[in-house]
Amino acid sequence: MSVPLAERRVPGGLVAGTIAFSNVDGPGNRFAVFLQGCNFDCVACHNPHTIPGRAPVDGDHQGPRRVRVPDLLHEIGRAAPFIRGITVSGGEATLQAAFVEHLFRAVKEDPALAALTCFIDSNGAADPITWDRLAPVTDGVMVDLKCLDPEIHRRLTGQDNAQVLASIMHLHERRLLHEVRLLLLAGWN
């Protein structure tokens, strides 16, 4: 059996883990995919298992695995009767934009999965080109804004928040912004 050319160009995603039935990763019950890697260094990282060297490998987190889209579709298919959609998170999902685009396109083209919505949970640091690439196959984006104050944001994440704020506006203009989540940390913001 030959592998379609489009699939050969997109290597598997580096997946830190999945949750078949999540009710906190977007609207309704969702299949959540946590991709490995992040461009922030957050003081209060919510998913440290997605950051190499940040959290020990244990019974719940076996470390990242390379996953091809057809294999992930099979996992999603088993959960499909019980979920409204899938959410790709991380780490930072947009760091593996080609994989996310390929996965979402495959979901939308699969008759058994096409009714599922495709959401991204992001730190918002992606540039407009990345968002525009993902827009045709994405139903919504949730942005985690760590802090409105740029200096506190930098201390919390190691990064400025200018691109995050620009992403929020860009996604809103594209009608892709589902929600903005503001991190609340006692003594920080």
Domain ranges, ordered by start, for the chain: 5-26+45-59+66-182
The C-alpha angle with vertex 30 and arms to 27 and 34, in degrees rounded to 5, equals: 110
Q: pLDDT tens digit string along 23-81?
A: 999 999 999 999 999 999 888 888 888 887 655 555 555 678 899 999 999 999 999 99
Is pTM, for the whole model, over 0.75? Answer: yes
Instruction: Show Cβ contacts of residue 80 under 8 Å, excluding neighbours closer than 6 positions.
Output: 112, 113, 116
- Specify the 3-state DSSP secondary structure of 118: strand
CA distance 102 to 6: 9
Stated as kind and residue range, the H or E segment containing 16 is strand 13-22
pLDDT of residue 172: 98
Measured in whole angstroms, the distance separating CA 110 from the mean position of its chain's CA atoms is 20
- Averaged confidence pLDDT in the chain: 90
Options 3.10.129.10, 3.20.20.70, 3.30.70.20, 3.40.1530.20; which CATH number does 5-26+45-59+66-182 get?
3.20.20.70
The C-alpha angle with vertex 63 and arms to 34 and 159, in degrees rounded to 5, equals: 55
The stretch 135-163 carries a mean pLDDT of 95
**Alpha helix locations (H) across the chain?**
5-9, 69-79, 97-109, 128-134, 150-157, 162-173
Q: pLDDT tens digit string along 68-85?
A: 999 999 999 999 999 999
From the list 20, 137, 140, 142, the residue with the least C-alpha distance to 75 is: 20
Phi, then psi, of 155 in degrees rounded to 5: -70, -35
Measured in whole angstroms, the distance separating CA 165 from the mean position of its chain's CA atoms is 18
Contact of 124 with 144, CB cutoff 8 Å: yes
pLDDT of residue 3: 44
